[in-house]
Amino acid sequence: MLIGKSGKIPSSEITPEGMYLNRRQFIGKSAAVVAGASMGSGIGGSIEPENSQKDWSKVRSELDEELTPFDDVTSYNNFYEFGTGKSDPVRNAHTLRPRPWTIEVGGLCDNPGTYGLEDFIKPGNIEDRVYRMRCVEAWSMVIPWQGFSLKDVIDQAKPSGSARFVEFRTLHDLEQMPGQRYGVLRWPYVEGLRLDEAKHPLTMLITGVYGKTLPNQNGAPIRLIVPWKYGFKGIKSIVSMRFLEEMPMNTWKRSASHEYGFYANVNPDVPHPRWSQARERRIGEFRRRRTLMFNGYADEVASLYSGMDLRTHY
């Protein structure tokens, strides 16, 4: 919202009344927003102080797996907006300015508008989740994330009955994201989920890792995690969410539809055209391990795809 110090504000810069009222309703339904948020600290000012001193060496996954070391998690990344090499993001992402940040919510919903990060945070709703992450390139990690349920945001936005999908977009800014100057992909980066996938309890919006504010190279200040899908579904540095009736065209399907589909569910029985997905290499290990169906989350999510041919809907 623009606040003028003096003079007449052009009508083009005045926040429409409906959008303003919707935004206030959205915030009101969030109960009390975290107070005193500092633009230089974690979201809501509460992530890093709360658990940055935690002894992460004692934390393991539900499959009793060791965590991938922090240095690997934050230095071995796919984030083409900062380069196509795995070490490019940590070298180049200093140009990203994650504060202040807004997310535009729109499409088929009752509460559209442009919201600050603090509008999404309720007191105490940031939680730790240790998730296995599987990259389509056949490497994997076990990462302790901090964030909150995407369902919370969806419920506040109130998608209409005709909405069946939610689309996400990454920031498009050639100054902040110099890799976007090159045509390796069509920018901005776009991803999407079916609405029931987006509202699943495992689906999270992430604001931190290892008890620290999410680093730029990992998708600061807010990114998506859907742990039963390949990593390219985890769109980073999100600036918009739109509720749609039709399936959105996600970036990698647009780029190479014969290799990457919309669903991107981890399925060891469906090989990538250029390599097998049956086994994976955990970062930090030399041996390869068997890839688990739905990345090991089959008990929680297989029912979402009942009756679907997962070789066709890949």
Tokens of 243: 């509720």
Tell me what pLDDT residue 52 has.
Answer: 63
Please say whether the beta carbons of 157 and 110 come within 8 A: yes
Tell me what pLDDT residue 50 has.
Answer: 54
The mean pLDDT value for 105-134 works out to 92
Among positive and negative, which fits the CA dihedral 96, 97, 98, 101? negative
pLDDT of 19 > 90? The answer is no
What CA–CA distance (Å, rounded) separates 146 from 126? 6
What CA–CA distance (Å, rounded) separates 94 from 88? 11
Alpha-carbon distances, residue 157 vs 77, 106, 111, 115, 253 (angstroms): 31, 8, 5, 11, 27
pLDDT of 41 > 50? The answer is no
**Phi then psi dihedrals of residue 220, to 5 deg:** -55, 150
Tell me what pLDDT residue 294 has.
Answer: 98
pLDDT digits (tens, 9 = 90+) for 123-166: 788 999 999 999 999 999 999 999 999 999 999 999 999 999 99
User: What b/e string do you get for 41-56 counting C-beta neighbours within 10 Å, with b at 16 or more?
Assistant: ebbbbbbbebbeeeeb
Tokens 């190279």 appear where? 217
What CA–CA distance (Å, rounded) separates 113 from 220? 21
Check whether domain 16-305 has CATH 3.90.420.10, yes or no: yes
pLDDT of 252 > 70? The answer is yes
Tell me what pLDDT residue 124 has.
Answer: 81
pLDDT digits (tens, 9 = 90+) for 230-246: 999 999 999 999 999 99
CB atoms within 10 A of CB 279: 13
Instruction: List CB contacts of 37: < 8 A, sequence separation 6 or more.
Output: 43, 44, 45, 117, 118, 121
Strand, helix or coil for residue 162: coil
The mean pLDDT value for 98-115 works out to 96
CA dihedral of 227, 300, 118, 100, whole degrees rounded to 10: 10
The DSSP symbol for 20 reads H
In the chain, DSSP assigns E strands to 102-107, 113-116, 127-134, 139-149, 165-170, 190-194, 204-209, 212-213, 223-225, 238-244, 279-282, 288-290
Tell me what pLDDT residue 51 has.
Answer: 63
The DSSP symbol for 300 reads H
Tokens of 124: 């105490």
Please say whether the beta carbons of 247 and 273 come within 8 A: no
What CA–CA distance (Å, rounded) separates 110 from 308? 31
**Phi then psi dihedrals of residue 61, to 5 deg:** -75, 175
Please say whether the beta carbons of 292 and 277 come within 8 A: no
